[in-house]
Amino acid sequence: MSGDLKKSRLSVLSSHLTPESSLMASEKEAALAVAPSDSPTIFDKIINKEIPATVVYEDDKVLAFRDIAPQAPTHILIIPKNKDGLTGLSKAEERHTEILGRLLYTAKLVAKQEGLEDGFRIVINDGPQGCQSVYHIHVHLIGGRQMNWPPG
């Protein structure tokens, strides 16, 4: 990894650690600054309890925790504990169908737990143009306010 790419990647990762979103002008810039990779991510550190997170749900397969830069009153990230090469939805293979279903079912459970009876949104960003900035598949569960359409 080149020095410039490494610095850019560190900047993006540190932007996910601090609540001040002013560190990165936008999520779009963060997504464009990170090269897709199978390398360990900030989510791996959260799974391994190396970085603290506000966990709202955990079982043997998935972990759900509050986003540190929420886009709505409720904004939770749901991730598989074992990435298994699934850096993004476009990398999914048939062998991933069980964990993909588990992520969505967990989103339903957490939405109920969070009192989102009136509805919620599920988002999976994929690739630089999809605004993905962490290459460990993750589901955003967003709710607690009226969503708009079309999304950005």
Q: Which amino acid is at 77?
A: L
Task: Kindly state the average pLDDT of the residues 129-152.
Answer: 94
Q: Residues 97, 115: contact at Cβ < 8 Å?
A: no
pLDDT at 133 over 70: yes
Q: In the prediction, which pLDDT does 33 show?
A: 75
pLDDT by residue (tens digit) across 91-119?
999 999 999 999 999 999 999 999 999 99
Compute the residue count for the chain.
152
Q: Tell me the average pLDDT of the chain.
A: 85
pLDDT by residue (tens digit) across 56-90?
999 999 999 999 999 999 999 999 999 999 999 99
Report the distance separating Cα 43 and Cα 37, nearest Å.
13
Which residue from 6, 36, 24, 114 is spatially nearest to 69, judged by alpha carbons? 24
pLDDT at 22 over 70: no
123: tokens are 């988002």
Place of tokens 């779009």: 28
Q: Which residues are catalytic?
A: 138
Least confident of 10-14, 45-49, 72-76: 10-14
Task: Kindly state the average pLDDT of the residues 110-138.
Answer: 96
Q: In the prediction, which pLDDT does 38 show?
A: 72
Q: How far is CA 149 from the centre of its chain?
A: 21
Does the pTM surpass 0.85? The reply is no
Residues 7-14: contacts with CB under 8 Å, at least 24 apart = 8/33, 8/34, 9/33, 9/34, 9/35, 12/133, 13/41, 13/42
Q: How far is the first Cα of the chain from the last one, in angstroms, to the nearest whole number?
A: 32
Q: In the prediction, which pLDDT does 106 show?
A: 98
